[in-house]
Structure 1
Amino acid sequence: MTKEDKNLFTAGFILGLGMVGAIDGIVFHQLLQWHHLILSSNIKLEIITDGVFTALFSALMVWGAIKIFRDARNDELGYSWKIFLSGIFIGGGVFNLVEGIIDHHILQVHRVRPMAENPLLYDLAFLASGVVMVFIGLWLKRLDQKAERT
């Protein structure tokens, strides 16, 4: 992979982390109201930790956008949509896997849907979605590499 494609992949990866974080925060925290970043009887703490979470994934998206701009300005940015999307999918999948393993299983600060009849099922589906995203990203990256060889 060229330096330009690596830069494009990295920017996509960073954006994927931020985008899936945004989807998590918007869908699970706000729209469905299944959980907050930290489940507590103190709603103020829950809202503050959700705000910190929002700030972090927003910062990731800004960082990814700045990386794209800087690399493009220096003529060091690839142009393969497959490489870019592979970075987004792998970054998003890594977000779900890391957030799911750390927050849901190791620290146990929240579950995907704690009031469900079987909350573990939702936690495992969350992890499975991360695995699926990583595999889609790897598949796209492989497709791009095959296209380069032909």
Structure 2
Amino acid sequence: MYSKRNMWSGILFGIGLAAFVDETIFHQLLHWHHFYDKSTTDIGLISDGLFHAFSWFATIGSLFMFADLRRENALLLTKWWGGVLVGAGGFQLYDGTVQHKLMRLHQIRYVENVYIYDWVWNIIAIVMIVMGLFLWKRRTSVEKTAEGVAK
């Protein structure tokens, strides 16, 4: 039970963190794109604001779950960090495939050879997911002890 709650708290935090980094770096600092680029700049900025709000709701929700796990002395940091990586990588892979290519809401960057950016973006996402799944599946000494006590 606690393993799944740790994982979901981490996944939500990872989604919120990846969305926040995407919004801050690629939307605001580098001005590479907006969340929705098929309209005016004003609509793009509004879509960025909604996207930013979503990322903070996910982050704050995950931190409430994190605090509850700590309060119950049930925080499994290895599982949580696995969830963070799966959440961040999953968000990035979804963004790079569904939003960029299938829905065409925006591209990573509007340049002639965008495929280099696409490949790097999606490969980093897959690496994060694999690393997160490795951490998630890894049994910690705390879990082994809990299993031994339960038997």
What range describes the TM-score normalised by the shorter chain of this pair? 0.7 to 0.9
Provide the residue aligned with 2:139 in structure 1.
Answer: 145
- Is the Cα–Cα contact under 8 Å of residues 14 and 88 in structure 1 kept in the other structure? yes
> Structure 1 segments of 4 or more deviating over 4 A?
146-150
Amino acid of the structure 2 residue aligned with 1:126: W
- Please point out which of 87, 103, 107 is paired with 1:107: 103
Superposition RMSD in Å = 1.9
Q: CA distance change for structure 1 residues 117 and 40 in 2, over 3 Å: closer, same or farther?
A: same
> After the TM superposition, which residues 65-80 of structure 1 pair with which residues of structure 2 at under 5 Å, given as runs?
65-73=63-71, 75=72, 78-80=74-76
Q: Which residue of 2 aligns with 1:84?
A: 80
Task: Give the superposition deviation at 1:41.
Answer: 5.3
SS in 2 for 1:145: coil
Structure 1, gaps ≥5 residues long: none
Q: Return the alpha-carbon distance in structure 1 between the equivalents of residues 65 and 44 of structure 2.
A: 32
> What SS is found at the alignment partner of 1:58?
helix
CA contact (8 A) 1:113 1:119 kept: yes
Aligned residue identity for 2:67: F
Normalized against structure 1, the TM-score is what? 0.87
The aligned residue for residue 62 of structure 2 is: 64
* Counterpart for residue 148 of structure 2: none
Matched residues in 1 for 2:45 and 2:135: separation?
37
How many residues get paired?
144
Deviation at 1:149, TM superposition (A): 5.6
Q: Percent identity?
A: 28
Task: Determine if contact 2:7/2:136 at 8 Å carries over to the other structure.
Answer: no
Measured after TM superposition, the shift of residue 100 of structure 1 is 1.5
Say whether the 8 Å CA contact 1:38–1:109 is kept in structure 2: yes
Aligned 8 A contact 1:7 1:78 in 2: no
